[in-house]
Amino acid sequence: MITNEPKDFKRFTPKTLPQEEIIVSGHRACQGCGEVLALRLVGKAIGTPMIVVSATGCMEIISSPYPQTAWAVPWLHVAFENAAAVASGVEAGLKTLMAKGRIPRRKIAVVAFAGDGGTADIGLQSLSGAMERGHDFVYVCLDNEAYMNTGIQRSSSTPYGAMTTTSPAGKVIGGQTTWKKNLAAIMAAHNIPYVATASPAYHLDLMNKAKKAAMIKGPAYLHVYSPCPTGWRHGTDLAIEVSRLVVETNIFPLYEVIDGKYVVRKNTKPKPVEEYLKIQRRFSHLTPEMIQTIQKRVDEEYEKLLKLEVATQGLEGREGPKEEAAKKD
């Protein structure tokens, strides 16, 4: 078992993957769900002792049909928009009880999980508040890019062009008309010690980031790409494939923001976005023009990210840092 103590941890390798699970089999996730996989990896990486707070959403509903529970760690679900506020209370409660000697003093990781709706839309206020106040916990957004639990409705995290049940591919309007809200950037703007994006196709990278997030003192934010075969209309065997393509096309670049400094996992030869879009039926209505628009935007956003890295690392006029070790994963 890997503990939460930084001294015990170097970096996960295929040989040091923890056996321990925080969420066990028997839960009711859809076949091929990429979100529960991401959740499982984050949990494995952080390890125990851990207390989990879940927002309402797919992961909450599939894991806790009373009297069953898939949670092997203490778990609390209160409502949709308040996971960060509840986690604030959990963290503050633990800290005070330890200070007063009522519970043993030890590091207990507090981890809040929420979907993109619970993070980017209805939970944004409570998340912002908790991050600003500096509570020591990890907030994980498992982003499947729409309200999947209620039946695939668009959120502010739904990508441009994607078809959902409230951004349908109609005769006049072709799917989502807005660009995906950049939550990681919003969190970075809170100047918290650690922000990272991750994808389950790069599982060691994801786990190392989760571990780092938990070991850092203060608030940490992980934005984890979480494929939903049911909502995205792709094969149930393709969650890892899309998780890889989204990174390889630079649609979802992997990066960390450590104490305000960006560290980007470089991808100088990105695949065309079309390769990612074409295997998901949520994008099947896209016209070549729309695909071009997306390509242009993705290229611009990636450039912007690299510039942020140069600017925050103080590398103006020089080459950016060499590719992260994570690439080896």
* Contact region with other proteins (CB under 8 A), list: 35-43, 79-87, 253-261, 288-296: 79-87
Binding mask 97-116 for other proteins (x = CB under 8 A): x-xx-xx----x--------
Distance CA 250, CA 234 (A): 20
Binding mask 225-264 for other proteins (x = CB under 8 A): ----------------------------------------
**Shortest Cβ 132–other proteins spacing (Å):** 8
Q: How would DSSP label each residue in 9-27? A: -S---GGG-----SB-TT-
Q: Tell me, by CB under 8 A, how many residues bind other proteins.
A: 50
203 Cβ partners below 8 Å, 6+ apart?
A: 41, 329
320 binds other proteins (CB under 8 A): no
Q: How far is CA 101 from CA 89, 96, 104, 106, 217, in A?
A: 18, 9, 7, 11, 21
Helix (H) or strand (E) segment spanning residue 182: none
* Contact region with other proteins (CB under 8 A), list: 77-85, 181-189, 257-265, 287-295: 77-85
**Shortest Cβ 46–other proteins spacing (Å):** 12
Site residues for other proteins, window 128-147 (CB under 8 A)? Answer: 128-130, 132-133
**Shortest Cβ 98–other proteins spacing (Å):** 10
**Which position among 41, 45, 86, 263 is part of the footprint of other proteins (CB under 8 A)?**
86
Contact (Cβ atoms closer than 8 angstroms) between residue 306 and residue 321: no
Q: For residue 199, give the nearest of 183, 167, 220, 222 by alpha carbon.
A: 222
Contact (Cβ atoms closer than 8 angstroms) between residue 75 and residue 54: yes
Distance CA 36, CA 26 (A): 12
126 binds other proteins (CB under 8 A): yes
**Which position among 3, 69, 153, 312 is part of the footprint of other proteins (CB under 8 A)?**
69
Site residues for other proteins, window 23-52 (CB under 8 A)? Answer: 48-51
Q: Over the range 93-107, which residues count as b (16 or more CB within 10 Å of their CB) and which as e?
A: ebeeeeeeeeeeeeb
Distance CA 230, CA 87 (A): 30
81 binds other proteins (CB under 8 A): yes
**Which position among 30, 78, 185, 306 is part of the footprint of other proteins (CB under 8 A)?**
78
Q: For residue 34, give the nearest of 197, 214, 224, 212 by alpha carbon.
A: 224
Contact (Cβ atoms closer than 8 angstroms) between residue 149 and residue 61: yes
* Contact region with other proteins (CB under 8 A), list: 88-96, 151-159, 234-242, 269-277: 88-96
Binding site for other proteins (CB under 8 A): 48-51, 53-54, 60-61, 64-67, 69, 71-79, 81-82, 84-97, 99-100, 102-103, 108, 125-126, 128-130, 132-133
